[in-house]
Amino acid sequence: MEFLLDLHPDAYPLEGFRRRQLLEWVYVQGAGTFDAMTNLPAELRADLAARYHLNPFREIETVRSADGSVKYLFTLADGRQMEAVYMPYLDRKTICVSTMVGCPARCAFCATGAMGFGRNLTPGEIVAQVLAVAGGEGIAPREIRNLVFMGMGEAMLNYANTMQAARILLHPQALGMSKRRVTLSTVGIAKGIRQLAQEDDLGIKLAISLHAPDEPTRQRIIPTGAANSIEEIMAAARDYQEVTGRRITMEYTMLRGINDHLWQAELLAELLRGLVSHVNLIPMNPWDGSGFESSTEAQIQAFYDTLQARGVDVSVRRSRGKDAGAACGQLALKRPGAVSGIGAA
């Protein structure tokens, strides 16, 4: 049986008016079953139910934070688990979605990295996170207008499925998101960055998780970083910007005594010279067994001041949901069998 959400809206099994009705039910109404699609003939609903399924999740758990954000833990049909985070603000509703079960990048400070790699998510499994969160929050799917591919996994290593998911998210008859409000984060896959620049019909934003401006530090905290050197990443970023003209966000998790020295701030400023960019300094979300601590507030401020004094556009991104296990992978990692991305069956 095929998963309907894996299909691009233009490839849905019906035509004309009936296709528009089906898309309306799935992406506007957020219907979880074909039986709920009451304006479709009963025979058609039965035929669709025999050929397709709508829900990839066997179980959904939530942990709610005092700040309003909600961590969702999804158990897939094969028993593997992954997460999404819903973050409501006064002026927008944002969701952070996963593209993989686990992650092969193995960033040393990341809970997801400790899980290892389970498998890629399909396009529909990525999109289904939005629909499931909307249902869980009692809102229409299209009320979620901001999305970041920053959850579990390295999106650039699940490139085709992530691009298909993005096209579904942006499609006017699906979720109709604005390309200016969708961001893809990568640990720095140079080939993928250049490939994304050629996706003329997307126009989504790019964030690079650099985390260190010098090779010894970066390879210490990102063991797979040797495959894409800082020089290669920055060259790809400049190529991307030359093609697209879009600003690039640099994500920088602040680790006490590791990457928060002021000489590293100065080196980062030098790396970014001539690039239209914005640096997000992110205090680390602590998790049991990480072996790392977040930089102190004083050191984060000094790092910020050093960058700003050198003309770098910079901000400090305060993490939400700390009381709900905000670090990606934290909930799944606590489950038995979490290594290699296999959650509790």
Q: Is 69 annotated as a binding residue?
A: no
Encoding tokens for residue 31? 């219907």
| Helical residues (DSSP H) of the chain, grouped into ranges | 16-23, 42-51, 111-115, 123-137, 159-170, 190-197, 215-221, 230-244, 262-271, 297-309, 330-333
Active site (catalytic) residues: 83, 328
Q: What is the DSSP letter of 87?
A: E
Spatial distance between the Cα atoms of 241 and 209, rounded to a whole number of angstroms: 16
274 annotated ligand binder: no
One-letter amino acid for residue 21 of the chain: Q
10 Å Cβ neighbour count for 178?
13
In terms of Cβ atoms closer than 10 Å to its own Cβ (0-12, 13-18, 19+), residue 156 is: buried
**Is residue 2 part of an annotated ligand binding site?**
no
Establish whether 96 is an annotated binding residue. Answer: no
Q: Is 209 annotated as contributing to ligand binding?
A: yes
Residue 340 assigned ligand-binding role: no
103 is known to lie in a ligand binding site: yes
Contact 279, 315 (CB under 8 A): yes
Sign, CA torsion 246/247/253/259: positive
Burial of 330 (0-12, 13-18, 19+ CB in 10 A): buried
CB atoms closer than 10 angstroms to residue 8? 12
* 210 marked as binding residue: yes
Q: How far apart are CA 203 and CA 213, in angstroms?
A: 27
The reply, when asked if residue 153 is annotated as ligand binding, is yes
How many Å apart are CA 247 and CA 244, to the nearest integer? 9
CA contacts within 13 A on the Cβ side of 336: 2
Of 338, 285, 303, which is closest to residue 109 (Cα–Cα)? 285
16 is in an annotated binding site: no
List residues forming the annotated binding site for [4Fe-4S] cluster: 103, 107, 110
List residues forming the annotated binding site: 103, 107, 110, 153-154, 185, 209-211, 285
